[in-house]
């Protein structure tokens, strides 16, 4: 940590640039304690690490259930100095005794109070939710930034491997855009992911852009200007490769899915191109799109004839029942509690409407215009897929 209390009760912060000689004198003449637990802390002035305070061995502090790395200490210090340079009132490692929490940085901006948490090591979902809820209930806006080392680009900076923990950092920006902010203290730049479209539990396509901390203001991080450039061809290719690899090494959950669709005369390799499409809020659902959309087909479209009516309320009941049976798994996103997973289904229906599969007849009512054509062979599937992509490319590339 970078702040400690002196024996006189005042707070001393290492955010200022002190000469080592002065700090050595101070260390010999001052006693420092942790402002959270009150235990003694040592001032570390090594040559290989940033100057910091550390609890003594064996000390148990409720605020420090995870150890701080050099990466973390450097990052939060840089973020604090970045805010300070913009004239934004900020306090490093501010301890709020009312809630018993200490965000890395507390700052005021635009009439609001923010709790900035720069997280570089995994913490449990329970702790993440507890901290977030405590901030919200006490008039803070929680602002979580993950260490960029967690954001793993797999290929060509378009495909990313994201864990459930990484998804915790998703937040809503302007125009309902969902973004994932990260920061790297080594490169001194922010890394923002937007337009995230999962095709499996862990992998997704995303737009990625980098911002130098020296050329970026707080507004650009709180409300980043993102551009939804979606590479549908890349996404579709990755989805197909994933489906093949996934079917060769089926999990118990996949076997359950395969058994069910088999009873409905469906083949994983011969699904129509209208099944397994990307939609903006699909990231709210952990289950891959090809699975939850196949369940929609089985529960809704397969049993309907052309011109039949489809009530979204009935669709939602079926969807929720699949969730109860753990056939569709919802992602827990602590910062997006107002975003409902069924939004992804609604977006899927909007896509089908644009493709001419269904027609909107009311606020929650659709009419089936034409049924899905199930291919009988791989050749027929490829022909149908190419025809579908060519006809709807302009729609698919603007998702």
Q: Let me know whether 9 and 73 are in one domain.
A: no
Last residue of a domain, one of 12, 39, 64: 64
81 shares a domain with 60: no
The reply to whether 43 and 143 lie within a common domain is no
Report pLDDT for 223: 92
Same domain, 84 and 213: yes
Distance, in Å, from the CA atom of 129 to the CA atom of 134, rounded to the nearest integer, reads 8
Task: Single out the residue in 37, 64, 91 at which a domain terminates.
Answer: 64
Q: Tell me, yes or no, whether 208 and 337 share the same domain.
A: no
Same domain, 126 and 85: yes
217/259 same-domain check? no
Instruction: Note whether 287 and 359 are same-domain residues.
Output: yes
**What range does the domain containing 275 cover?**
232-396
Shared domain for 196 and 236, answered yes or no, is: no
- Residues 203, 346, single domain; the answer is no
Domain-terminating residue out of 229, 252, 270: 229
Do 380 and 386 touch, CB atoms closer than 8 A? no
List, for the chain, all residue ranges whose pLDDT scores fall below the cut of 70: 8-9, 16-26, 28-29, 47-49, 57-60, 62-67, 228
Together in a domain, 161 and 211: yes
Q: The whole model's pTM is what?
A: 0.85
Q: Domain holding 182: CATH number? A: 3.40.1350.10
Given this model, what pLDDT does residue 305 score?
A: 92
Number of domains in the chain: 3
**Per-residue tokens: 374:** 């199930």
**Residue 65 pLDDT:** 46
- Per-residue model confidence as pLDDT tens digits over 221-246: 999 987 767 888 888 888 888 888 88
Do 257 and 328 belong together in one domain?
Answer: yes
């Amino acid at each position: 940590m970078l702040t400690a209390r002196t024996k006189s009760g005042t707070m001393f912060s290492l955010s200022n640039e002190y000469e080592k000689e002065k700090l050595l004198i101070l260390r010999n003449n001052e006693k420092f304690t942790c402002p959270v637990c009150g235990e003694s802390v040592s001032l570390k002035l090594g040559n290989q690490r940033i100057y910091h305070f550390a609890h003594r061995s064996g000390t148990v502090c409720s605020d420090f259930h995870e150890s701080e790395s050099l990466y973390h200490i450097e990052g939060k210090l840089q973020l604090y100095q970045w805010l300070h340079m913009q004239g934004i009132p900020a306090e490093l490692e501010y301890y709020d005794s009312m809630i018993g929490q200490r965000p890395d940085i507390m700052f005021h901006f635009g009439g609001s109070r923010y709790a900035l948490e720069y997280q570089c090591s995994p913490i449990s979902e329970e702790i993440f939710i507890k901290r977030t809820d405590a901030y919200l209930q006490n008039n803070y806006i929680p602002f979580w930034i993950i260490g960029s080392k967690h954001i793993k680009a797999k290929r060509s900076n378009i495909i990313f491997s994201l864990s459930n923990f990484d998804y915790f950092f998703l937040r809503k920006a302007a125009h309902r855009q969902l973004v994932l902010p990260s920061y790297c203290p080594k490169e001194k730049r922010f890394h923002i992911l937007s337009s995230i479209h999962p095709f499996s539990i862990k992998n997704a396509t995303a737009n990625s852009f980098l911002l130098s901390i020296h050329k970026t203001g707080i507004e650009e991080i709180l409300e980043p200007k993102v551009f939804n450039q979606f590479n549908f061809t890349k996404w579709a290719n990755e989805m197909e490769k994933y489906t093949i690899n996934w079917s060769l090494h089926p999990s118990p959950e996949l076997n359950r899915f395969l058994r069910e669709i088999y009873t409905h005369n469906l083949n994983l390799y011969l699904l129509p191109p209208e099944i397994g499409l990307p939609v903006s809020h699909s990231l709210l659902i952990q289950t891959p799109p090809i699975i939850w959309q196949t369940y929609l087909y089985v529960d809704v479209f397969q049993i309907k004839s052309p011109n039949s009516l489809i009530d979204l309320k009935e669709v939602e009941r079926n969807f929720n029942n699949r969730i109860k049976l753990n056939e569709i798994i919802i992602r827990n996103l602590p910062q997006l509690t107002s975003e409902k997973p069924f939004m992804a289904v609604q977006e899927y229906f909007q896509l089908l409407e644009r493709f001419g599969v269904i027609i909107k007849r009311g606020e929650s009512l659709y009419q089936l215009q034409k049924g899905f054509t199930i291919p009988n062979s791989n050749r027929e599937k490829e022909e149908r897929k190419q025809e579908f992509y060519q006809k709807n490319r302009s729609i698919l590339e603007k998702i």
